Amino acid sequence: MLGRTYDREVCSAARALEVVGERWSLLILRDAAFRGLTRFSQLQEALGIAPNVLSARLEHFVASGLMTVDRDEGHPRYALTPKGRELVKVVLALTEWGDRWAAPDGPPIEYGHEGCTGTVRLVTCCDTCGGSPPVEDIVARRTPAMEKALARRGRTR
């Protein structure tokens, strides 16, 4: 399992990266979520990933509560939990960036809204004005939880 790589950080993004920041992690979750793959062999074939790496990732996902594993039927079957499924939004954000900046022939997939003909995008939303601010208008503000965490560690930033 991955160690506490970003242990010095008081940051939810760093905590998330400790869970899915290793190579292949987010693409395994993508295939579990969008291609419905549940078997080790399916994931291995789809991704062309080294078996020992896939094995380590899946064990880590189960240990971290992102996936459950059902070993009753011979070959284990992996399924995303709600905790794991919510990471799909990270995959969406990566996809949208890649579509815009790294897909010269156009987006290879689009995210559809099931039961609707529409496509789904991730947008920013301000809970007060209802606007969708561009990233340059978003600022990070410390919460009391951050101040407490830093005080516990004897740090001020």
**Is the Cα dihedral 108, 114, 118, 119 positive or negative?**
negative
Residue with structure tokens 């880590």?
Answer: 60
Q: Is there a contact between 95 and 109 (Cβ–Cβ < 8 Å)?
A: yes
Least Å from the CB of residue 37 to a second copy? 11
Nearest distance in Å: CB 62, a second copy: 15
Q: For a second copy, give the closer residue by CB, 74 or 106.
A: 106
| Residue where the block lists tokens 């799909």 | 88
For residue 42, the minimal CB distance to a second copy (Å) is 11
Nearer to a second copy, 71 or 109 (CB): 109
Distance CA 134, CA 138 (A): 7
Nearer to a second copy by Cβ, of 58 and 95: the residue is 95
Least distance from a second copy to the Cβ atom of residue 57, Å: 14
Nearest residue (CB) to a second copy, 70 versus 97? 97
C-beta atoms surrounding 87 within 10 Å? 20
